[in-house]
Amino acid sequence: MSGFLEQFLQFFTLSHIMMIIYVLNALIALGLIFFDESKSPTATMAWIMILFMVPAVGLFLYLILSQNIARQQIFRMTEDEEAGKTTIIDWQKEDVRDSIPDDSDEVTSKWKEMIAMNLDYADSILTYNDSVEVITDGKEMFERLCSDIENARYTIKLCFFIVKDDFVGNRLVELLTKKASEGVKVRLMVDALGSRSIGKMKLRDFKKAGGEYAFFFKPLIRHMYFRINYRNHRKLAIIDNEIGYIGGFNIAREYLGYKKKFGYWRDTQLIIRGNALATLNERFYQDWRYASKEKLDLIEQSVRYAYNPDSGDIPVQIVSCGPESQKEEVKMAFMKMITCARKNIYIQTPYLVPDEPMLDSLRMAARSGLDVRIMIPCMPDHPFVYRTTLYNAGRLIGEGAKIYIYENGFMHAKTLTVDGEVCTAGSTNFDIRSFRLNFESNAFIYDKNTTAEMDRRFMEDIKKSRPYTQEDRDSISVFERAGESISRLLTEVL
């Protein structure tokens, strides 16, 4: 055996191995150019550059970062499930088109084209009788969530990107264990990579108590994550089918402001009651069915609601996106809001790394005289992404947009409000990763009062921010500009 290995190594020198890598990279490059329609031209060029500039590293990165999830149809519905949902959507399309007069002053009439687009493009059902509460403080959000879980009588369903093995994550799992032991049906779903540090002993106790948990995209080999780019980034909670949470908070100490590096953690979570719980439930069960491999009938699950029909009068659409569809549903809804704006556009995001069409829509809005304001963090949690964020902020400053750097801690909110009439919050960042690579969910709310509340909090945050100006851009060094250029290339592929 050793003799064969010696002959093999003598024949396959390093130059031979590099030649094989170059040939493989050339074949991949040809495939990217002629056959892969899922990537943007910029991403294709970025991959080709990496494949030939750093061949071995480029090949490794491509193999683990560039899988095609769309072909797997991971959320495939049965014929009956498809037919049931299609019937509701078709009925709502007619209702939106025929029942809402164009000259009405109601917010839903002004935005009925967007409602229709979300119905048709994202299969997002509109619900009318909802109430919405805005939470922006991590400690308040976590205490409210724990209180609602403590008071649960029937079911608890949680989906989070991150649940850590710290005093925050452990408190949650211990509470879920307690409720499971009381006979409440408890399901916990987390992303396998984001929650890789979750307390395994706590999960064992949770399962012994009758709880159920599932890891989304769990690796076949422990700690070998070959799907780094495709993560379940959603943050959802559904308690007794009466109370729903959707937003940006994860379950770890930093999200409650207990990590010195970040300080106060500014995020946004929505608490929703009403018929929107039906669409949140459907989203959870689709994810759960894939992650747990449990055979569930979505139609059967969807009729088990205990919501209060008098919860409120706010229209809501839950829009989800992910690499399984390649339709970028949430991004398209963002762009519809931006292109339909007539007065103002307010955005909060930790990462300002959109693609060119989204940047163009923001540039056009600013050049048209609209009040475009964007708030970003004062510090990075991912340095190369932050450099790209500052670069894109500089581009928008030149077009007339106002950029604010939040200085009271870390800005992690993902919100967009337009004209004081419509707003959205959820897990989706203003970046390519959220638009194309991660599984995300956002609530789109057609209500002046909720939008006014989010605008009020935006204005309060401006008092804790400083403007990012053209003078700031002009003062950066050559090395910083070089770092931005490299970061822009990497954000297309990482």
Task: Compute, in degrees rounded to 10, the torsion defined by CA atoms 198, 199, 203, 204.
Answer: 140
Token output for 47: 């991959």
Q: Which residue among 235, 267, 431, 447 is the active-site one?
A: 235
Token output for 255: 């999200």
Residue 414 known to be catalytic? yes
Cβ(231)–Cβ(438) under 8 Å? yes
Q: Which residue among 137, 164, 412, 447 is the active-site one?
A: 412
Residue 259 known to be catalytic? no
Residue 223 known to be catalytic? no
3-state SS assignment for residue 300: helix
CA distance 213 to 89: 32
Reference 146, options 180, 114, 172; nearest CA is 172
Q: Which residue among 137, 336, 414, 461 is the active-site one?
A: 414
DSSP string, 256-286: GT--TTT-SEEEEEEEEESTHHHHHHHHHHH
Q: Which residue among 419, 431, 455, 461 is the active-site one?
A: 419
CA distance 286 to 382: 30
Rounded to 5°, angle at Cα 211 from 202 and 135: 80
Name residue 242's amino acid: E
Cβ(236)–Cβ(270) under 8 Å? no
Q: Which residue among 164, 179, 233, 331 is the active-site one?
A: 233
Q: Which residue among 148, 240, 431, 455 is the active-site one?
A: 240
**Catalytic site positions:** 233, 235, 240, 412, 414, 419
